[in-house]
Structure 1
Amino acid sequence: MRLFFVEDNAALQTTVARSFERRGIQVHGFAEGRPALERWRAHPPDVVLLDLSLPDMDGLDLLSAARAAQLTTPVIILTARGTVGDRILGLNIGADDYLPKPFDLDELEARVRALARRSRGSPGSPGAAVETEAFCGLRVDADSGAVYHLGLPLDLPPREAALLRALLARPGHAVAKERLTGIVFADDLDVQPDAVEVVAYRLRKRLPAGSVKLVTLRGLGYLLKAAD
């Protein structure tokens, strides 16, 4: 699942991105509305999280422009504006949900997944999509974040699963060690720089034999490649 987060608070963007990417949701952050709208038009995501107080335009104006452009992506408004009038106006313009700040990350994730399911349609309906494209038999279920190999779920601890999901988002491409550390240890502010190496070591032992290899690139990070 791919998510746009339009929010000018860099710390909040980082917190949400780290938490969600660990749960198998890719987050693309935007600090301003106009670049977000441009990208939205070119590559629509599964869900948009939208703050209303943006530096270059009001979030409601961004939402109105998106709906006028026939962009139907589900939108959750996240804002400190908590009045009933703001909520009604946002929903009337085209928002699908509204969550006032501060919010709980687990509740936000549940709302994101529910909206994504509804927009795709129920399982088995035309256009439904509940999984990522497979790589060497591995795929990530978009709703649960579980990783499967040839249709069978892999038994992975949370940190190993988070690392594998992050690598499966860009198979065959190097992912920086710093980025992986932020995803795998999103809930640990005191993590050691080399902690992700331990997780990578454990993940190697759990990968299906003869399917994929987890390669260490000195000074760059890690990548997944097909086994020789």
Structure 2
Amino acid sequence: MRVLLVEDDEMIGESLSDALQDEAYIVDWVKDGRQAILTLKVQPYDIVLLDLGLPEVDGMGVLNTIRHAQIKTPVLIITARDEVKDRIAGLDSGADDYVVKPFELGEVFARMRVLIRRAQGQADNLLIVGNVQLDTTHKRVIMDDSPVDLTAKEYMLLNIFMLSPEKVMSKTELEDSLYGWGGEVESNAVEFLIHSLRKKIGQQRIKNVRGLGWYISNSN
């Protein structure tokens, strides 16, 4: 899952970015509204965490601009503005949810899961493909009623596949979802991850379409 964090406060931004990465999110962090708009026009994200009190263009301006541009990425406002009129204005401008600072990280993560799940048409936080189950709330994978131990990157890769079973994902799409800005990506990193994941959930579960990419199959 790739997150755009839009926050100009260094301390809040750093702590939130670190916490999101600990939760197996890929985080890109920008510190002003203009950069947020430019980024959202060229890079897809699963969700945006948006402060309102931003330099260059404030959060409301960001919301209005991206919604007019038909960018439908879920937006969770995270702000110190706690008056009802501010919440109403944010939601009416296109935000999907609103959290007031100071906040509990657990609540932020829960609200993120709801918005991402809703955008992807998922009924709950349990993904099931064949004999593999992935619990996105607790970051657990079960296969044939037994737990499967995955690395953080293996978990992220499996999550990407299981959100769209039978859909072929290209190497570029997978790299964009698995690695943030500034991250060094070796040429065979995706292939290596797929190889290691196949060893844990079965060679035939993840299939290759030569020249196009990979997908997770509902059948063994």
State TM-score, norm by structure 2: 0.62
- Alpha-carbon spacing, 1:141–1:2, altered in 2? closer, same or farther (3 Å): farther
Q: Which stretch shows the higher mean deviation, 25-34 or 94-103?
A: 25-34
Give the length in aligned residue pairs. Answer: 165
Would the aligned equivalents of 1:22 and 1:163 in 2 still touch at CA under 8 Å?
no
Residue 32 (structure 2) pairs with residue 32 (structure 1)? yes
Cα displacement (A) at 1:60: 0.2
Structure 2 SS opposite 1:99: strand
Residue 176 (structure 2) pairs with residue 145 (structure 1)? no
Separation in 2, partners of 1:73, 1:153 = 33
Match of residue 121 from structure 1: 121
Q: Which runs of 5+ in 2 are unaligned?
A: 129-133, 159-177, 187-198, 204-220
Q: Give the aligned residue type for 2:139.
A: G
Separation in 1, partners of 2:40, 2:153 = 27
Cα displacement (A) at 1:144: 4.8
Match of residue 3 from structure 2: 3
Would the aligned equivalents of 1:48 and 1:76 in 2 still touch at CA under 8 Å?
yes
Q: Give the aligned residue type for 1:73.
A: T
Counterparts of 1:74-153 in structure 2 under 5 Å?
Answer: 74-122=74-122, 144-146=138-140, 153=147
Structure 2 SS opposite 1:107: helix
Separation in 2, partners of 1:33, 1:120 = 26
Provide, for residues 109-129 of structure 1, a one-character-per-residue CA deviation record: whole Å limited to 9, x for no partner: 0000110000010269xxxxx
Identity of aligned residues (%): 39
Separation in 1, partners of 2:145, 2:31 = 39
Structure 1 SS opposite 2:62: helix
Separation in 2, partners of 1:26, 1:99 = 21
The CA RMSD measured in Å over matched residues stands at 3.6
Cα displacement (A) at 1:6: 0.3
Match of residue 72 from structure 1: 72
Provide, for residues 62-119 of structure 1, a one-character-per-residue CA deviation record: whole Å limited to 9, x for no partner: 1000000001111111111111111111111111100000000010000001100000
Provide, for residues 143-192 of structure 1, a one-character-per-residue CA deviation record: whole Å limited to 9, x for no partner: 65335789974236xxxx54765899359936xxxxxxxxxxxxxxxxxx
Would the aligned equivalents of 1:6 and 1:48 in 2 still touch at CA under 8 Å?
yes
Residue 167 (structure 2) pairs with residue 173 (structure 1)? no
Q: Give the aligned residue type for 2:36.
A: A
- Alpha-carbon spacing, 1:173–1:146, altered in 2? closer, same or farther (3 Å): farther
Cα displacement (A) at 1:4: 0.7
Q: Give the aligned residue type for 2:11.
A: A
